[in-house]
Structure 1
Amino acid sequence: MKNKFLKYMFIALIPAAVSSCTKFDDSYYQNPNKPTEASGTQLIANAQLFLPSLSSSAYGVHYPQYLSLTTYTDNTRFLTKNFDFETWYVGPLMNLEEVLKKGETLSAVDGPVVNQIAIAKILKAFFLWNVTDRWGDVPMSEAFKGIEIPNPKYDKQEDIYKALFKLLDEANTSIVLTNGTIKNDIIYKGDMSKWKKLANSIHMLMALRLSKVNPTLGKSEFAKAYQAGGFSTMKDNFSYPHLNQAANQNFWYNSFSTLGRKWYALSKPLVDQMAPFNDPRLSVYGDSLATGGYAGLEFGKAVPNPDVDIPKVSLLGSKLRAQDAPVHLTTYAQLLLAQAEAAKLGWLPGGDAQAKTWYDEAIKQSILQWTDSDEKAEAYLEETAIAYQPAKALEQIATQRWIHVFPYGYEGWAEWRRTGFPKLMIASDINNGKMPRRDGYPVNEAVNNKASYDAAVSAFPYGGEDNLDSRVWWDKP
């Protein structure tokens, strides 16, 4: 991290050094059609370009056993333990930090400054939430100081969560809705009412992560965000829109169509959770076999003969790997499931009756989102194992969440770690028979930022080493 931060800061300082040497009025020579620095909304848009990578990942889809690899199975055997988080810091987070540093000095030409700042805070919270959920303690408070602090400390995940709750609160209360539209917004086209709902929806999902480690704080934060108002329709979904062009195409399209790789098949655990109950989403998640029906590939094991055996398993669905297929990051159905769990836990009023209402509606909305029709939802909900059962409600809600957020692997993995549902098994020859609990820190951190790295590893909340087996703070045993 050290070298990349220094490099970024050096580049950022060059324009200032040059301008300080001239005696002329620089504004006279500036071409308005060739700005010398990005505007606030351009920096925000650039950060948004990184959003698909959170979901569309050659690694993330395997952590909750969504996809199996037909060939080259290293990723499904979790042979890589250390992952680089620098991309997020020097990419989207640095762009957003620049917006926040400029603050009130931002130009209002592209929309109200307070709204630009609010969106930057929401996106910063979303990216950092993903980073800390993968690695645990990570740099935050000192992460963007550049030359001033080249070796940032690792903040405690508990402190990061509290800081992100505050960031989302600030964004929510500051948003101006009347004449508040901003330009260059890839996600919501400048609609601030949707950004406001997103801030509260993310807040609720984050609060639910604390159900085991700090339910008191989780309940308080969840209820507050619920009262402030989250998603109320599928049209509020936080989704990234791809285009039918190479410069902005879906990751899976590139893998399947451009590169011709038939590597990614639905996993057997996923198909086994969906096929027996005629889950209508399965026809979107995977391709049916030539003989009809669906077949999942055993997780972590390649097919013996690709030419012969790949047609015998269901590959990732063609709809999901279309060039312009969107990536769903936070959705209405996902929030409904969170509210159902909150009601079951007593965080929201209504008990099982309210939990069932939200659970049923979440399934209907999920099926509608993925299939463009909810006509098969009632039949699915009548399946004995699917129909809401108070004694098994938490498992049912967790399993439906795991199914719904496919193929957003890192989110599915985080919720699996928190709840333990569905019950996923793993072969004894894969990571010693243990499902991963976190990602290992980047290898260069042990050298470039040794003191901070050592302090973070020694402070793991439940002990362990810097590998896939130690637990993050909210992943309480």
Structure 2
Amino acid sequence: MKKLNIMIVSALLLVGCNNFEDDININPNRPSVASGTQLIANAMLSLPGLSSSPQGEFMSQYLSETQYVNASLYPQSSTSFYGWYQGPLMNLQTVLNSADELSGNEGPVPNQLAVAKILKSYYIWSLTDRWGDIPYTEALMGSDNFTPAYDTQEFIYTDLFNVLDEASSQIVTGNITNDIIYGGDMNKWFKLANTLKMLMALRLSEVNPTLGKEKFAAAMQAGVLESNDDNLVFKHLADANNQNYWFGQLNQGREWWAISTTLMDKIKPVGDPRLMVYGNPNRTDGDYTGLVFGETVNIDTEKYSLLGDAITAQDAPVYLVTYAQVLFAEAEAAKLGWIAGGDATAEENYTMAIEASMDQWGADISTLDEFMSQPEIAYNSDTALEQIATQRWVHLFMHGYEGWAEYRRTGYPNNMSAPDGAEVPNRQMYIETEQFNNTENYNEAIQRQFGGAESLYGKVWWDVD
């Protein structure tokens, strides 16, 4: 009898367990599904990759290789964009696809969606400027489409303008949580969205100046970055779990990069105070010495200026979209006649841009007046576009892909070298597996853009010179 009672009780307990709510076994402190702002924050962790890349620095010729010289010789090799789709872009698309499921406990849902749209637009803009046409409207669909079509860069630009407008217009009062970039400050995200539009508009200066002028003016009127406090900056930590890429490399004894002569020849002769931030004196005679870009023999790292301590610090920040870029853009726009003011406004913004750049980099700003008085630097209406473009390139140090994009658009700086007879690439080549896994769409994109010839030297849509 006692045995029977035990069996009955056990049976009742089993029945009772089956009737419990499903979530009783879920630990609220260990969620199995990431929230909207957690996904956004995870996508933000990939932002340094848009800047912290040796390949990007070679494309813009900020750095020269000191050992294993290969990548700076511009070999005809492919580069993958898969990681961007599988990582940050998929996280952001998941947020956008889950609008009805987002929790308002982490900030207004419209603001979460706005930030996801702004970040997605920034990533896509960076990718299309590197490769040209890329998967866009059919991308990020998961198992619904493993072979997405490539959208034209022109279409992508047009759509991104619209997406950024949508993002700006849907921002409401209230901050969001888990924001490791702006601490949830939606006013800064609003200004960033407009700034991205401004910089994208300027990219159209040769291919469609009418549209560029229209979009530039609209972005400027809406409100762009107003100081270095508004900069899009990724702040590393003095912690191995979130440290600067360059620190990690040098911490392994890899002195593989030196300041290039391409950069050194633009900043050393004019006594640019940013030089002491960008690089260290060489260890032979304490001078600042650049290494010829693409040099392959007799390289002694003791003789050249390696990356500066401020650049390689474990917690060194990564500057992505900056106030100085806004001012350089406004200087160029004034010179082009896109905004009012002509040379007077162009000169004012040009000077302010250099000041903002020095301030951002922690250079000795007390030398600004002396620096600006030099003939090569002082604003000259006859050479203004070259001066603006060159100083913007100097400012964009270590944001190689952006510096390279501006070089392709403007042709400045004018001292890019061509190692072993090679030319500076116009784009990156698609990953080879696309030829086999997405053959039809890959071939269509190559034929449409480059007449069927895949190489580093086909030009993206806006690169018309």
- TM bucket by the smaller chain? over 0.9
CA contact (8 A) 1:303 1:310 kept: no
The answer to whether residue 254 in structure 2 is matched with residue 261 in structure 1 is: yes
Residue 444 of structure 1 corresponds to which residue in structure 2?
A: 433
Does structure 1 retain, via aligned residues, the 8 Å contact 2:258–2:290? yes
Asked whether the 8 Å contact 2:262–2:417 carries over to 1, the reply is no
- Contact 2:38–2:178 at 8 Å: present in 1 too? yes
Q: Report if the CA contact (8 A) 1:70-1:303 is conserved.
A: no
The answer to whether 1:94 aligns with 2:96 is no
Structure 1 residues 155 and 327: alpha-carbon distance in aligned structure 2, compared to 1, 3 A threshold: same
Aligned 8 A contact 2:282 2:306 in 1: no
Partner SS for 1:399: helix
Deviations 1:93-127 (A, max 9, x none): 00000000011321111111011000000000000
- Alpha-carbon offset, residue 302 of structure 1: 3.5
Gap regions ≥5 residues in structure 1: 1-21
Among candidates 444, 455, 459, match of residue 467 of structure 1: 455
Q: Which residue is equivalent to 1:126?
A: 122
Q: Which has the larger radius of gyration?
A: 2
Given that residues 280 and 371 in structure 1 are in contact (C-alpha distance below 8 angstroms), is that contact kept between their aligned partners in structure 2?
no
1 CA distance for matches of 2:28 and 2:79?
41
Measured on the aligned residues, the alpha-carbon RMSD in Å equals: 1.4
TM-superposed deviation, 1:80: 5.0
The CA deviation at 1:146 is 2.0
SS at match of 2:216: helix
Unaligned 5+ runs, structure 2: 1-17
- Equivalent residue in structure 2 for 1:358, among 345, 349, 363: 349
The alpha-carbon deviation at position 228 of structure 1 amounts to: 0.6
State how far apart, in whole Å, the 1-side matches of 2:381 and 2:399 are.
28
TM-score (ref. length: structure 1): 0.91
CA–CA separation in structure 2 for the residues paired with 1:328 and 1:134: 18
CA–CA distance in structure 2, aligned partners of residues 26 and 424 of structure 1:
67
Sort the Cα spacing of 1:117 and 1:369 in 2 relative to 1 into closer, same or farther, 3 A.
same
Pair 1:284 & 2:277 matched: yes
DSSP 3-state at the match of 1:471: coil
Q: Name which of structure 1's ranges 284-293 and 242-251 shifts more when overlaid on structure 2.
A: 284-293
User: Cα offset for 1:26?
Assistant: 2.7
Q: Secondary structure at the match of 1:375?
A: helix
Kept after mapping to 2: 8 A contact 1:463/1:470: no
In structure 2, distance between residues paired with 1:24 and 1:346: 71
C-alpha change, 1:312 and 1:381, in structure 2 (3 Å) is: same
Query: Which residue matches 2:304?
Result: 313
Instruction: Tell me whether 1:435 sits opposite 2:418 in the alignment.
Output: no
Cα contact 2:351–2:372 (8 A) shared by 1: yes
TM-score by length of 2: 0.94
Match in the other structure for 1:13: none
1:38 lines up with 2:34 in the alignment: yes
Tell me the distance in 1 between the aligned counterparts of 2:23 and 2:106.
Answer: 20
After TM superposition, give the deviation of residue 35 of structure 1 in Å.
Answer: 1.1
Aligned residues of 1:274 and 1:282 also touching (Cα < 8 A): yes
Q: Which residue of 2 aligns with 1:27?
A: 23
CA distance in 1, matches of 2:171, 2:19: 40
Deviations 1:202-246 (A, max 9, x none): 110011100000111111111111001001111101000000111
2:38 pairs with 1:48? no
Alpha-carbon distance in 2 for matches of 1:200, 1:281: 28
Q: What is the Cα deviation at residue 76 of structure 1?
A: 0.6
Moved over 4 A (4+): none
Once residues 411 and 445 of structure 2 are traced to their aligned partners in structure 1, the CA distance between those partners, rounded to angstroms, is 26
Secondary structure of the residue aligned to 1:96 is helix
Q: Which residue in the other structure is 2:340 paired with? A: 349
Give the 3 Å change call, closer, same or farther, for CA 320–94 of structure 1 in structure 2.
Answer: same
Cα distance change, pair 347–158 in 1 and its aligned pair in 2 (3 A): same
Offset of residue 463 of structure 1: 4.1
In structure 1, what is the Cα distance between the partners aligned to 2:129 and 2:77?
15
Name the residue aligned to 2:220: 226
Partner of 1:390: 381
Q: For the Cα contact (< 8 Å) 1:268–1:297, is it kept in 2?
A: yes
Question: 1:44, 1:96 within 8 Å by CA — same for their partners in 2?
Answer: yes
- Distance in 1, matches of 2:359 and 2:375, equals 21
1:200 aligns to what? 194
Cα–Cα, structure 1 residues 375 and 148, in superposed 2: closer, same or farther, change >3 Å?
A: same
